[in-house]
Amino acid sequence: MGAFVALLDAMEEITHKICPFIAGGVLLGSIYWIAITYGAVTVMQVVGHREGLEMMESADPLVLLVLLPTIPVTLISAKMYNWEDSVLLFLRKYCQKIPALAYVLPFGSVEGDRGAIVSGQTTNHQNQNTSSHLSPTRIFCSALLLPTISTIIGKIFFRSIQNNLHRTILGGLTYITIKGALKIYHKQMLYIRHSSRKILDYTESNLKLYRSTTTTDAVSSTRDDTEQVV
């Protein structure tokens, strides 16, 4: 084919090998600049638009190029830590004997060997289900929306505070606390429901009992729906 065609073949092969690296570099660079943009927007949102611009204009550009991308990384990393489980385990272990706390967070009536089995097997099963529900997209969205939600809550409930940063911090702490308390309560109720389950033998009598219970629940549900329509 000649030397010229051989040169074209070599250039084609080199281009085919280089293109994935160029695409990867462009992708990483795009993610980096998106992280910088998000960090700058977050600073202006949390501190205040004018104060944030003045802060970034007075800072060293090299420092901004290093620190701004760490803001979304820090938010996502913090979101991956499930602190609610640690608090719930602490409450189950040390606060179960406090009668007043039972009105706020029910502990159920699991005792003895059954309680040990539930604490071991059921809790592990529940934690596996919880971790499977926490998808990467949910963690990503929740982490990146945290500054916006904190700013909104701070403006609604802490209007008397003039400092934007302090108001946003209080809004974020309020949001995280309320959300965490609701998650802890929900997990504890699931724990109680799992601990009260009973495994029956696959017998005719148990099948009849299950079918009669299912039929009764279906009839009750249909009756309630009919009453609502009427």
If DSSP states are collapsed to H, E and C, what string results for 119-166?
HHHHHHHHHHHHHHHCCHHHHHHHHHHHHHHHHHHHHHHCCCCCCHHH
Q: Between the CA atoms of 183, 187, 193 and 197, what dihedral angle is there, to the nearest 10 degrees?
A: 160
Q: Which 8-state DSSP code applies to residue 50?
A: H
CB 84 within 8 A of CB 180: yes
Counting Cα atoms < 13 Å in the Cβ hemisphere of 156 gives 10
Task: Give the type of residue at 213.
Answer: T
Summarised one tens digit per residue, pLDDT across range 102-152 is 666 776 554 444 444 444 554 455 454 444 456 788 889 999 999 999 999
pLDDT given at position 209: 83
CB 141 within 8 A of CB 79: no
pLDDT given at position 229: 46
d(CA 17, CA 151) in angstroms, rounded, equals: 47
pLDDT given at position 67: 92
**CA–CA distance from 167 to each of 147, 172, 175 (Å)?**
12, 9, 12
pTM, rounded to two decimals: 0.69
pLDDT given at position 33: 94
pLDDT given at position 146: 93
pLDDT given at position 223: 57
Query: Which parts of the chain sit beneath pLDDT 70?
Result: 96, 102-104, 107-134, 217-230
CB 90 within 8 A of CB 153: no
Cβ burial, residue 29 (10 Å; 0-12/13-18/19+): exposed
**CA–CA distance from 11 to each of 2, 20, 56, 182 (Å)?**
15, 15, 45, 61
CB 136 within 8 A of CB 77: no
Tell me the angle at which helices 3-47 and 70-80 cross, rounded to the nearest 10 degrees.
70
Size of the chain, expressed as the number of residues it contains: 230
